[in-house]
Amino acid sequence: MKRYSAFAIAREALRHHTGWERAWASPAPRKRYKVIIVGAGGHGLATAYYLGKNHGITDVAVIEKGWLGGGNTGRNTTIIRSNYLQDPSAAIYEKARALYEDLSQDLNYNVMFSPRGVMMLAQTEHEVRGYLRTAHANALQGVETEFVGPDRVKELCPIINIEGPRYPVLGALWQPRGGTARHDAVAWGYARACSAMGMHIIQQCEVTGVRSEGGRVTGVETTKGEIGCDSLGIVVAGHSGVLAEMAGFRLPIESVALQALVSEPIKPCMDVVVMANTVHGYMSQSDKGEMVIGGGADGYNNYTQRGSFHHIEETVRALVETFPMISRLKMLRQWGGIVDMTGDRSPIISPTPLGGCYINCGWGTGGFKAIPGSGWAMADMIAKGAPGPLCADFGLDRFRAGRFIDESVAAGVAH
């Protein structure tokens, strides 16, 4: 695979762009692979990438029922931060955030990581205390955050109305190296790097069954035939329960639609990411100028990958209190993805009751930010057959043992 570089752009400009290679191959599936990953979202592709890069395992197929990155990875609002409360969460989210810093160089693909800073507004006394607690926890965890007052909030984001009307801004939890990245590029960059290592990314191929013998996985049934494997990684977000059932176990997961919308593009007016948990909404400005606005999850379980009008209304109504200027904007598009929610709002990265079968799910409304760290941990677990330090606490058994990793505050608004 030829490297992307300034020299390559100049060369291709001179020959009318006839020399670019396809970014990834689309091969027919082989009969067998050492490892099969189900789901070519960010987490599945990152798992495959780190299996090759960190463990030298390249006999890997990533099987995707639609197109790669077409699930939640291509539908999220791209916020990256690691200001979680509990130690295991801070460790894996900070690992991911740190990997994002160099991801473009590592993948030789511009993922447009923009560490523009993320703030979570405190609009009640209760939130002030909660975020002070998180800032102290983050200091002990080595995650760079600070609690800032309303004046600093206004300085960082002049379009915020810090005076109310219902909820004045009392401060914010500020993570200066949080930010955003281009979500499609993350999937495409990983896919290209996996393909360059000789891995197979098989799109338009749905896994319809899991085969096993003597309590151990032997392969999968797909719409393109049976494919054998030694190890299986299930990384399918909102469809995790469906795949788990095929593999013969149950998950403590609920699947719900989560929605977002964007406005018409406007001139640059906001160069940080802001979350307002009390009114429930969050916003950033894309490079195109659109205001990217995140809404809530549906209050009932479903598999519908689309938006609904009452969500636009509720979300925009909530945000107008804090950002009055958006009342003048036209909204352009709205969409939904199916997210996989656990009771403690923390992920599951775990071996399963089926030997050789591993699962990575439960990222719910906030897994985009975790993609590199999650892929790193999942690859390590598949390669070694047991969870490593980054994911040991995120096992399935925690629900039986009552060792919850409660992140319901950090994940309170969907981002």
Residues 278-337 that bind ligand FAD (CB under 6 A): 294, 337
Q: Which residues pair with 210 in a beta bridge?
A: 220
Binding mask 186-225 for ligand FAD (x = CB under 6 A): --------------------xx------------------
- Determine if 116 is a binding residue for ligand FAD (CB under 6 A): no
| Binding residue for ligand FAD, selected from 103, 235, 247, 270, defined by CB under 6 A | 235
The yes or no reply on residue 150 touching ligand FAD (CB under 6 A) is no
Task: Return the number of the residue (107 or 162) whose C-beta is nearest ligand FAD.
Answer: 107
Window 152-191: residues binding ligand FAD (CB under 6 A):
none
Instruction: Please report, for residues 48, 60, 122, 185, 300, the alpha-carbon distance to residue 21 in angstroms, rounded to integers and kept in the order given.
Output: 21, 22, 49, 17, 45
**How far is residue 118's CA from residue 144's CA, in Å, rounded to a whole number?**
11
Residue 377, φ and ψ in degrees, nearest 5: -70, -40
Tokens of 65: 């029922």
Q: 116, 177, 311, 415: which one contacts ligand FAD (CB under 6 A)?
A: 415
Residues in a beta bridge with 61:
36, 200
Contacts of 99 (CB under 8 A, 6+ apart): 106, 372, 373, 376
Would you give the DSSP letter of residue 74? G
Give the residue at shortest CB distance from ligand FAD: 41
Describe the crossing of helices 87-101 and 125-141 by its angle, rounded to 10 degrees. Answer: 70
239 lies in the binding site for ligand FAD (CB under 6 A): yes
Closer CB to ligand FAD, residue 70 or residue 171? Answer: 70
Burial class for 306, CB neighbours closer than 10 Å (0-12, 13-18, 19+): exposed
Q: Do 94 and 367 touch, CB atoms closer than 8 A?
A: no
| Least distance between ligand FAD and beta carbon 130 (Å) | 20
Residue 61 lies near ligand FAD (rule: CB under 6 A): no
Among 356, 367, 372, 373, binds ligand FAD (CB under 6 A): 367
Torsion of CA 302, 307, 313, 319, to 10 degrees: 90
- Interface residue with ligand FAD among 236, 247, 251, 316 (CB under 6 A) is 236
SS3 148: strand
Options 188, 358, 368, 394; binder of ligand FAD; rule CB under 6 A: 368
Tell me: does residue 65 bind ligand FAD (CB under 6 A): yes
Match 């592709």 to its residue by tokens: 45
Closest to 367 measured CA to CA, from 191, 195, 193, 183:
183
In the bound complex, what is the minimum distance in angstroms from residue 42's beta carbon to ligand FAD? Answer: 4
Up-side HSE of residue 101: CA atoms within 13 Å toward CB? 12
Site for ligand FAD in 10-39 (CB under 6 A): 38-39
In whole angstroms, the minimum distance from the beta carbon of 14 to ligand FAD comes to 37
Longest CA–CA separation in the chain, Å = 65
Q: Which of 258, 291, 293, 348 contacts ligand FAD by CB under 6 A?
A: 258
Residue 71 or 130: the one with the smaller Cβ distance to ligand FAD is 71
Asked whether position 342 contacts ligand FAD by CB under 6 A, the answer is: no
Binding piece for ligand FAD, criterion CB under 6 A, among 59-67, 94-102, 136-144, 263-271: 59-67
Binding mask 75-104 for ligand FAD (x = CB under 6 A): xxxxx-------------------------
Provide the minimum distance between the beta carbon of 88 and ligand FAD in the complex, in angstroms, as a whole number: 17
- CA nearest 121: which of 323, 367, 312, 345? 323
Give the separation between CA 91 and CA 386, rounded to whole angstroms. Answer: 18
Quote the CA–CA distance of 361 and 354 in Å, as a whole number.
Answer: 16
The nearest distance, CB 12 to ligand FAD, in angstroms, is: 30
**407 belongs to the binding site for ligand FAD (CB under 6 A):** no
Binding site for ligand FAD (CB under 6 A): 38-44, 63-66, 70-73, 75-79, 206-207, 235-237, 239, 243, 258-260, 294, 337, 339, 363, 365-369, 415
